[in-house]
A and B are shown apart, each in its own frame.
Chain A
Amino acid sequence: MAEHVVLFAGPMGSGKTTAIRSLSEIEVVSTEAANTDRATADKETTTVALDYGEITIDDVTKVRLYGVPGQKRFDFMWSILAGRARGLLLLINNDAPESIALLLQYLADFHELHARGAVVIGVTKSDVRESPTVADYSAALTAKFPEQLIPVFTVDPRNAEEMRTLLLTLVASVEMRELLAPAPEKI
């Protein structure tokens, strides 16, 4: 059985834990603590180490789903978990201030994974705030990375089918990159 490791990243409150819970076939391992930073995200708890879930696709591919804390002060967890991932599923909540700049900042923070792996963007909470649109995000990504096509979707992290579409897109991109990667030189 093939295995992939993908990372769910994005700002606090973008829906990473919810997305992994929507997708996972196993009971999700969560590390949530009472949230004292209500100014950043008005929610009861926040992830302080990782979330972990698993899903099997088409009976032949297992995907290990790792979620990282959203806050920058936990960026040591970003480095630890990004090292083992091949794909990045970046969730951006549309109601965040300067959400496009925030998206680009997170891509910069995960540039090493972005450079060697695949990336898919999920825009959440677009029902809370309508703009920017998917086209706005795509335009910003094309301007920043003109040589790349980074898929952008609107998504509800509570909706398993929508999350599955994102995940399948990411897994297909990961597999495509692996197929296109140059073969190692023979010694």
Chain B
Amino acid sequence: MNLLPGPAAPATLPSHLNPAHIDAGNRTLAEMQELATSLTFAAMLTDDGFEIVHLNGATTDGGRFASMSSSVQALSDAVAHELKIGTNEYVIIASELGHVIQLRVQGHPIVLAALFDTHETLGKGLSIARIAARRMAQLMA
């Protein structure tokens, strides 16, 4: 992976309007694609559901996906809170023809959501998503 940092990010701009965060997101998702050809769609989004960047968006409505991922993330957080089982680490939606894995970029109000086809095991998909989330945090530091 290319470890050169991207341009400095002005702290006041929301991430979906922040060129530095957009650049970091694009670099992270491109590197993620190199690790997993089964990655059919991926997006970085703000906690409140604005898409920062996406990858492979020819057949997926990125804005819609970002909004739904935001809701799913918040609902999962609420369930973990309600059941007093600690912090929600990641969300998996395993379906017949693919699976969605999403998790937060640590230290930032940003969620990484990735759709893999069924050629990827859940374990490997999760591992790749974790690497990408760490990479995004690193680029934004």
Contacts and interface: CB of A to CB of B under 8 A. Distances in A.
Interface of A: 29-37, 46, 48-50, 69, 71, 73-74, 76-77
B74 A31 contact: yes
B47 A49 contact: no
A7 B46 CA distance: 26
Nearest to A51: B78
Nearest to A49: B71
Interface residues on B, range: 20 to 34
Given A73-B63, A73-B67, A76-B68, A33 B48 contact: yes
Nearest to A69: B71
B50 A49 contact: no
Contacts of A76: 64, 67-68, 71
B109 interface: yes
A31 B71 contact: yes
Contacts of B78: 29-31, 49
Given A36-B15, A36-B48, A31 B77 contact: yes
Interface string B109-123: 100000000000000
A30 B77 CA distance: 10
Nearest to B15: A36
Contact of B74 (A35, A48, A71): A48
In the A-B complex, the 10 residue pairs with the closest CB atoms:
A31-B74, A36-B14, A33-B47, A49-B71, A33-B48, A73-B67, A34-B109, A49-B74, A48-B74, A48-B70
B70 A33 contact: yes
A31 B48 CA distance: 10
